Amino acid sequence: MSLSAVTGRRCFLQESVLGLGSVALASLMDRRSATGARAVEANRSLTARASQFAPRAKNVIFLFMAGGPSQLELFDNKPSLRKYAGQRVPNSVLGNQELPFIERDATLMPSPLRFSRHGESGAELSEALPRLAEVVDDIAIVRSMHTDAFNHAPAQIFLHTGHLQLGKPSMGSWISYGLGSECSDLPAFVVLTTGQGVSGGASCYGNGFLPSVHQGVTLRSEGDPILFLGDPKGIDRSIQRDTIDALGHLNRHRVDIVGDPEIETRIAAYEMAFRMQTSAPDLIDVGQESKTTLELYGVTPGEPSFAGTCLLARRLVERGTRFVELMYKGWDHHSDVEGGVKKICGRADQPVAALIKDLRQRGLLDETLVVWGGEFGRTPMVEDNPALGRTRGRDHHPNAYTMWMAGGGINPGQTIGKTDELGYHVTEDPVHIHDLQATILHLLGIEHTELTFQHQGRDFRLTDVEGEIVEKLLG
């Protein structure tokens, strides 16, 4: 073979390889550009975005009562349980449902708590909620909730993400992604906890496959709510500013090269942290509140409490935080449901009612949607399990339970839905978890079927492939 032929072959191969390589590189750069564009699109929701239609609410406060509050001891009075006390539930009522902790032959137990009617609406509440009774005309009670899971972690994840599988964005993250925040100095989605955390864990406020800027930011209930707010020793604000500017320059250069949306999130996180060094200390200083306000909630400055988180929730929405979730663990009463409900309501009833009153007094209730409830309810049967030390308790019940909503476009002073005489099944106006989620999004001016994000080739949404707006709730 001649030298010219060999050289020609080499040139052909080089050109072919480089040509294919050039095509591959161009394709890769196109993908990076597209990824970068998606990053900018996703992260622009750090600032406020317009609703799809006129919203009735601007902010949400979700009072998540983790563990499954007993509707039979709080909202859904069942006098028939006294008539059938000690009798087994007919198999025709139980169906094929498996109960996680009690036997199918467990007997019916009436509530030991007294119920009475309150307000112009005449809503029935138990004696455990005397303060909520004072604002009952401001709330809409839904007695016909039902869900798809009967154990804590799956049910909590389902309530928050609309899916039973891990890895999906939480409701607060979806709302942050869809609407952004009206406050540049605080996160769009904040989580306040009381107790030792929830069974669903961080999945209940995780961003899933959404950009991590939409992750719920947790504030601690003891000690400094936010760590490292102060400047490090020997570092002043100007040095902090110069450092963040330098990091931002390097990160933006890297985004131009690789188009990783998480780098955009990192830039935004550094900037937010810098601004929060100024905004957060003012936020958490509840000592600025009047004595009247502190007494209304039952707050002692410096002492961690659920009351303190309720007050902090008002301060957050007042400053423009879009979604505030209060997680209060302690409603899982497998034993002594009477004593357990009275004890936790003794801590929760006053601050929850105070939050409604305070929002109303400040003109914030009309634009703030307040949602109260847990992942499921409790059975009308008694749970007596001497081996586990359980007596006079109630098991998990996903078929029928109660939540309530207030403000933010809700039609107050009504009770929606009914259950059968035993409180076991919904008999009127059933409201599924996806219906609740669809209604919350609707009140914020979002069509739930259109708030989507493509992941692994599929468009996902909070309500999965279901969800109907609960028209009766709308004002």
Which pLDDT belongs to residue 19?
Answer: 39
What stretch of H or E contains 31? helix 3-43
pLDDT at 387 over 80: yes
Say if CB 408 and CB 115 are below 8 A apart: no
- Using alpha carbons only, how large is the chain's radius of gyration in Å? 26
Under 8 Å between Cβ of 435 and 416:
no
- Per DSSP, what are the bridge partners of residue 401? 145
How far apart are alpha carbons 437 and 163 in whole angstroms?
Answer: 12
Q: What is the 3-state secondary structure (H, E, C) of 62-105?
A: EEEEECCCCHHHCCCCCCHHHHCCCCECCHHHHCCCCCCCCCCC
Q: pLDDT confidence of 12, banded at 50, 70, 90?
A: very low
Mean of pLDDT over the chain: 86
Tokens read off for 274: 């810098």
Structural domain spans, the chain: 47-473
137 alpha carbon, distance to own chain's centre: 24
Over range 162-176, report the average pLDDT.
97
In which band, very low, low, confident or very high, does the pLDDT at 121 lie, cut at 50, 70 and 90? very high
Two tokens, residue 426: 């919904």
Chain segment 41-72, per-residue pLDDT in tens: 444 445 677 778 899 999 999 999 999 999 99
**Residue 26 confidence (pLDDT) above 80:** no
CA distance 472 to 313: 27
- What does the DSSP assignment read for 241-268? HHHHHHHHHHHHHHHHHH--HHHHHHHH
Nearest to 125 by CA among 328, 352, 305: 352
Whole-angstrom distance, CA of residue 116 vs CA of residue 145 = 22
Q: What is the CATH number of domain 47-473?
A: 3.40.720
Between 178 and 262, the more confident residue is 178
* Average pLDDT of the residues in 137-147: 98
Given a contact cutoff of 8 angstroms between Cβ atoms, the answer to whether 113 and 338 are in contact is yes
Nearest CA among 453, 474, 472, 471 for reference residue 162: 453
Q: What is the mean pLDDT of residues 132-152?
A: 97
- Among 323, 116, 52, CA closest to 207: 323
Q: Is 203 helix (H, G, I), strand (E, B) or coil?
A: helix
Res. 261 pLDDT band, cuts 50 70 90 = low
Residues recorded for the chain: 475
* pLDDT computed for residue 32 by the predictor: 39
Q: Which tokens is 298 given?
A: 């039952």
Band the pLDDT of 40: cuts 50, 70, 90: very low
Best CA proximity match to 65, nearest among 168, 203, 204: 204
Q: What are 279-283's contacts with CB under 8 Å, separation 24+?
A: 279/185, 279/186, 279/319, 280/186, 280/225, 280/226, 280/229, 281/229, 283/186, 283/312, 283/315, 283/316, 283/319
Dist CA 322 CA 345 (whole Å)? 27
d(CA 207, CA 326): 17
CA–CA dist 472, 417 (Å, integer): 10
Q: How far apart are CA 94 and CA 85, in angstroms?
A: 16
Strands (E), 54-101: 59-66
- Mean pLDDT, residues 350-369 taken together: 98
Q: Which sign does the torsion angle of CA 151, 154, 158, 159 carry?
A: positive
H-run or E-run covering 315: helix 306-318
